[in-house]
Structure 1
Amino acid sequence: MKVRQILYSFLAVSLLGACSDTDPSGNFSLNDCPQVAIRQLVGNDSVVVCNLDLIKDTLNIPLSQLINDFKIIKLDSKDEALVKSYFTHITDNYIGVYSGRMIPYKLFDKEGNFLRTIGSIGQGPNEYTLIYDSQIDEKNKRVYLLP
């Protein structure tokens, strides 16, 4: 199963890598890409065969194909709000920031205003030494941390 996932990932990257540069008007479509792989039946097995000559080294994809809008949010700079961010969890109304180690989880609103620190560093109740993951549940107004 894992080999199949790796093969499909390679195929997807290969298909994208085969695409030519975008035209001057900025239009981009996967229909502009040549077909670099086909599925063939070999014995009782289905095999994906790639024509590597059609794959290019680079691909120019306009940023507009990846995102619709973009906003830079400056987070509050109060002393209690400072965090060295490695991980960020963003929802419609909140931004959660944590580093994974020795810095408590910080919660900001969607405008970047510091709201609160969730828990603290330690080994007692409501304390943790590191965070592996987080989830913000806006509907129930909860923040879930996986310490």
Structure 2
Amino acid sequence: MAYKKIKSYKFTEAELREIWSVEYCNQPIITFDNIEVKFFSSMFDHCFYESHSRKEKDKSILSLNRLEKIYWIKDTLLDPASIRKKGWDRNKKTYTDSSRVNLVKGNYIVVIKIFAKNKARFITAYEVNSDENLKKIKNSPDWA
């Protein structure tokens, strides 16, 4: 896969939102294993804004680091070499078949939520910067 980065600082936020809309929201992405993933314009803020504090979770800072990898989301979903793991349901405190984590490039993840047979919606994507969290993801059950 290409996994190309952009120089996100050279774009306005409006231009970055347009890339998001064109690449993801105008049509679903079909994963390499035939799951249709839907994206919505409102997901831009959740995916590309970071909180200044993990405790507050205020999503107040536009993340140029996350945005430089805006195309990686699609690349990850299309990559048959990605590592696929079951997601964690924090409310039930267990792994679930309704959430999938795709891991590439050592620490970049894309999370999707399965809501019907071969249908999902995008949840988030980011680089895991905590060795402890990365270890938890790598040790989680494989996606069947």
Q: When the two structures are superposed, what TM-score results if normalisation uses the length of structure 1?
A: 0.21
Larger Rg: 1
Give the structure with the larger helix fraction: 2
